[in-house]
């Protein structure tokens, strides 16, 4: 294994290409910077519409949508099936403006990460089938969808204002929501997990969606190497007793040269060590639903997993299964280190959209109104990127007291969602950064692939 990694590093050192700073495309090392007076790339027809739409209110966009799509069919595609629930509400909103408005719709949810292939194939048409998409996996979005011009970002005016910015000033993608995958453990036994290094200790096998089944799991590992998150791991390591430190130190020393070669900074070796131990030990499960059902069972004593927090909503209480059979690790007093991983569902207009005005209006409706976000916001663990909508959603659904009964008694502590701000700060959630993921996908990503292949062998 060490020889294989050494060969990889040697190959990296002699490659005639270097990575562009924001996305993993290969640029010849001798290429000079473009002149600063290079004219801007001409906007496509859909991009021109988006430029206009970004200066409009939702009501103005609604009028454009009604004129464009009345009596037609709207096709959307996404990683979340809930777009199918949001579309009827959007249609009702347009009908409140024009009672004669009708719109048929079809929402597709490709499986096994096929959404990128589907959108790529559609992009070859002059006019595509899909008006817009709701998509996850920032790494592939950056490299396969945005850099290739397949998807275009639209920033609604009201969303930008709520986030104290403008469409021109905002440089990222448009997130509908942030979701979190958090560490949970079965508490029917005596074992506890008080430090994030406990998950990769000898004999531990956390339940986790395989990194090739859901690529955001691989992005989680990429993000651990970003300096702010590798410092979380270093700080948590420093809190361990000496005996545990000694066990992990061997792996930390083994990967130190790799971290240096990848330019990961002073704490990069702690990230690579955690990743190596995690990839070598986790128990692959095909979906977060089964992980949740496994962990809440009395038979899962002393087991743990990293899974979508909102899955707790679907637990049916019985003698064998209960939300009270698990604990959210980061909620426990004295817990040290990362509490989980946060990633986004992003909204885009396809660059060959057949209904670009309607797509923009639908996107604005989902991101700028509580009703539009409700298909996702009704459950804990999903946080609107619009602070105004997030506050309205909490006021309606009371997720912060989701495990508390009407008398004020805490019945299911794990269901009292502490919110994105808590998770991002106190809970030390590792947040996906698409550009960072793309920038390390070849170096750190290739290294992880070797670890996975070694594990499979």
Q: Does residue 434 fall inside a structural domain?
A: yes
End residue of a domain, out of 353, 370, 400: 400
Give yes or no: residues 199 and 257 share one domain.
Answer: yes
Nearest to 334 by CA among 236, 419, 249, 403: 236
Residue 267 shares a structural domain with residue 237: yes
- Is 422 strand, coil or helix? helix
Q: Are residues 390 and 416 in the same domain?
A: no
pLDDT at 40: 53
Q: Helices in 98-206 by DSSP H: which ranges?
A: 115-122, 138-140, 157-162
Residue 2 sits at the vertex; the CA angle it makes with 433 and 338, to the nearest 5 degrees, is 35
Residue 274 shares a structural domain with residue 417: yes
Q: Are residues 236 and 193 in the same domain?
A: yes
Q: Write down the pLDDT at residue 457.
A: 63
Q: Tell me which DSSP letter residue 372 carries.
A: H
Residue 13 lies in a domain: no
CATH number reported for the structural domain that contains residue 130 in this entry = 3.40.190.10
Considering the domain boundaries, does residue 37 fall inside one?
no
Do residues 280 and 355 both lie within one domain? no
The candidate with the shortest Cα–Cα distance to 344, out of 432, 420, 422, is 432
Q: For the chain, how long is the longest CA-to-CA vector?
A: 72
Where helices occur in 54-156 by DSSP H, the ranges are 58-69, 83-97, 115-122, 138-140
Residue 430: is it exposed, middle or buried by C-beta count within 10 angstroms (0-12/13-18/19+)? buried
376 within domain boundaries: yes
Q: φ, ψ for residue 6 (rounded to 5)? A: -65, -40
Pair 158, 257 in one domain? no
59 and 159 in a single domain? The answer is yes
265 Ramachandran zone, left/alpha/beta (phi>0; psi -120 to 50): left
Q: Considering just the CA atoms, what is the radius of gyration of the chain in Å? A: 23
Q: For the whole model, what pTM was predicted?
A: 0.87
Evaluate whether 210 touches 217 at the Cβ level (below 8 Å).
Answer: yes
- Considering the domain boundaries, does residue 167 fall inside one? yes
Do 370 and 222 share a structural domain?
no
Q: Are residues 331 and 279 in the same domain?
A: yes
Q: How would DSSP label each residue in 235-255?
A: HHHHTS-HHHHHHHHHHHHHH
**How many structural domains does the chain have?**
2
| Structure token pair of residue 257 | 């040269």
Residue 337 belongs to some domain of the structure? yes
Residues pairing with 174 in the sheet: 347
Kindly state whether residue 21 falls inside one of the protein's structural domains: no
Cα 350 to Cα 149: distance, rounded to the nearest angstrom? 9
Q: Is residue 38 part of a domain?
A: no
Q: What is the structure's pLDDT at 113? A: 77
The DSSP secondary-structure symbol of 350 reads: E
396 lies in the same domain as 418? no
pLDDT tens per residue across all 457 residues of the chain? 444 444 444 444 333 333 333 333 333 332 333 333 434 579 999 999 999 999 999 999 999 999 999 999 999 999 989 999 999 999 999 999 999 999 999 999 988 779 999 999 999 999 999 999 999 999 999 999 999 999 999 999 999 999 999 999 999 999 999 999 999 999 999 999 999 999 999 999 999 998 887 889 999 999 999 999 999 999 999 999 999 999 999 999 999 999 999 999 999 999 999 999 999 999 999 899 999 999 999 999 999 999 999 999 999 999 999 999 999 999 999 999 999 999 999 999 999 999 999 999 999 999 999 999 999 999 999 999 999 999 999 999 999 999 999 999 999 999 999 999 999 999 999 999 999 999 999 999 999 999 988 776 6
Is 305 in the same domain as 450? Answer: yes
Structural domain of 53:
45-177+344-400
């Amino acid at each position: 294994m060490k020889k294989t990694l050494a060969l990889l590093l040697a190959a990296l050192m002699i490659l005639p290409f270097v990575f562009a700073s924001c996305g993993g495309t290969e640029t010849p090392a001798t290429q000079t910077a473009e002149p600063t007076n290079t004219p801007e790339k001409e906007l496509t027809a859909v991009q021109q519409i988006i430029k206009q739409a970004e200066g409009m209110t939702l009501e103005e966009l609604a009028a454009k949508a009604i004129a464009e799509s009345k009596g037609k069919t709207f096709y959307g595609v996404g990683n979340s099936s809930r777009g199918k629930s949001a579309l009827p509400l959007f249609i009702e909103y347009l009908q409140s403006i024009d009672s004669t408005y009708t719109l048929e719709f079809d929402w597709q949810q490709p499986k096994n990460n096929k959404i990128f292939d589907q959108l790529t194939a559609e992009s070859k048409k002059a006019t595509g089938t899909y008006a817009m998409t709701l998509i996850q996996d920032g790494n592939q979005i950056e490299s396969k969808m945005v850099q290739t011009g397949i998807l275009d970002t639209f920033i609604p005016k009201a969303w930008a204002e709520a986030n104290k910015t403008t469409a021109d000033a905002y440089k990222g993608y448009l997130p509908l929501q942030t979701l979190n995958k958090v560490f949970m453990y079965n508490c029917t036994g005596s074992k506890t997990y008080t430090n994030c290094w406990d998950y990769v200790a000898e004999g531990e096998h956390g339940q986790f969606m395989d990194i090739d089944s859901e690529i955001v799991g691989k992005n989680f590992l990429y993000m651990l190497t970003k300096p702010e998150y590798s410092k979380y791991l270093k700080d948590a390591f420093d809190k361990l007793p000496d005996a545990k430190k000694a066990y992990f130190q061997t792996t930390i020393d083994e990967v130190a040269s790799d971290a240096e070669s990848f330019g990961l900074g002073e704490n990069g070796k702690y990230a690579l060590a955690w990743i190596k131990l995690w990839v070598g030990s986790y128990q692959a499960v095909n979906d977060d639903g089964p992980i949740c059902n496994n962990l809440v069972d009395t038979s899962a004593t002393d087991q743990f997993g990293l899974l979508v927090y909102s899955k707790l909503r679907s637990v049916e209480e019985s003698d064998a299964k209960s939300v009270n059979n698990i604990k959210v690790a980061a909620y426990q007093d004295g817990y040290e280190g990362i509490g989980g991983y946060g990633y986004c569902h992003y909204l885009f207009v396809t660059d060959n959209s057949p209904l670009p005005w309607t797509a923009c209006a639908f996107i604005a409706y989902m991101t700028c109104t509580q009703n539009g976000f409700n298909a996702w916001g009704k459950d804990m663990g999903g946080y609107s990127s619009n602070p105004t909508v997030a506050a309205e959603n909490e006021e309606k659904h009371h997720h912060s007291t989701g495990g508390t009964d009407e008398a004020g008694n805490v019945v299911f502590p794990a269901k009292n969602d502490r919110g994105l701000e808590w998770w991002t700060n106190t809970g030390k959630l590792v947040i996906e950064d698409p550009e960072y993921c793309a920038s390390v996908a070849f170096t750190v990503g290739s290294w992880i692939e070797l670890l996975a292949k070694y594990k499979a062998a």
